């Protein structure tokens, strides 16, 4: 079975996040999948494309380190602000271009600077059967 195309509204999960996030895709490339903008490997900008994952539980996150120190060593998760310095890592062969970049499929991963691995939980592409 082919990998599903990731599009706006896809559900994402970070390995250090407490809750799922959502992928926002701006309609700049004017390519739609099921009526919503299709994602590319470049749709990796924190807050613009990658929404927070509630509370961050990474011991490499400076805010978690500071809060844990302030709590005298009691581990203290802090609000998530993703830091994704590089684009998505393609999961399959990136053979489809959307504008200037390869399309993002459901096997893609994104690395957060605090050590988290962000994966696609639900790609947002759904198929419907027409009778």
Query: Mind listing the pLDDT tens digit for each residue in 93-104?
Result: 678 888 889 999
**Residue carrying the six token digits 């600077």:** 113
List, in sequence order, every residue forming a beta bridge with 120; answer none if it has no partner: 12
Q: What is the DSSP letter of 18?
A: S
Q: Which domains does the chain possess? A: 1-55+81-125 (2.60.200)
> Is the pLDDT score of 119 beyond 60?
yes
**Span 51-72, mean pLDDT?**
97
pLDDT range class, residue 1, cuts 50, 70, 90: very low
- Are 116 and 14 in contact by the 8 Å Cβ rule? The answer is yes
DSSP letter for each residue of 40-60: BTT---BTTTB---SEE--TT
Query: Mind listing the pLDDT tens digit for each residue in 18-57?
Result: 999 999 999 888 888 878 899 999 999 999 999 999 999 9
Q: How far apart are CA 4 and CA 10, in angstroms?
A: 11
Q: Which residue has the higher pLDDT, 43 or 131?
A: 43
3-state SS assignment for residue 127: coil
71 class by beta-carbon count within 10 Å (0-12 exposed, 13-18 middle, 19+ buried): exposed
Which of 83, 84, 88, 85 lies closest to 62, judged by CA? 83
> Is the pLDDT score of 80 beyond 90?
yes
pLDDT of residue 100: 87
pLDDT range class, residue 127, cuts 50, 70, 90: low
Provide the pairing of β-strand 55-56 with 117-122.
unpaired
């Amino acid at each position: 079975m082919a990998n599903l195309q990731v599009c706006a509204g896809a559900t994402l999960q970070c390995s250090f996040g407490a809750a799922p996030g959502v992928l926002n895709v701006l309609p700049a490339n004017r390519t739609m999948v099921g009526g919503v903008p299709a994602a590319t490997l470049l749709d990796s900008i924190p807050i613009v494309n990658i929404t927070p994952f509630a509370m961050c539980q990474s011991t490499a996150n400076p805010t978690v380190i500071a809060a844990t120190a302030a709590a005298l060593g009691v581990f203290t998760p802090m609000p998530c602000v993703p830091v994704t310095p590089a684009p998505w890592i393609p999961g399959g062969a990136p053979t489809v271009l959307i504008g200037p970049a390869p399309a993002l499929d459901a096997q893609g991963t994104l690395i957060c600077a605090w050590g988290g691995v962000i994966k696609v939980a639900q790609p947002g592409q759904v198929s419907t059967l027409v009778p």
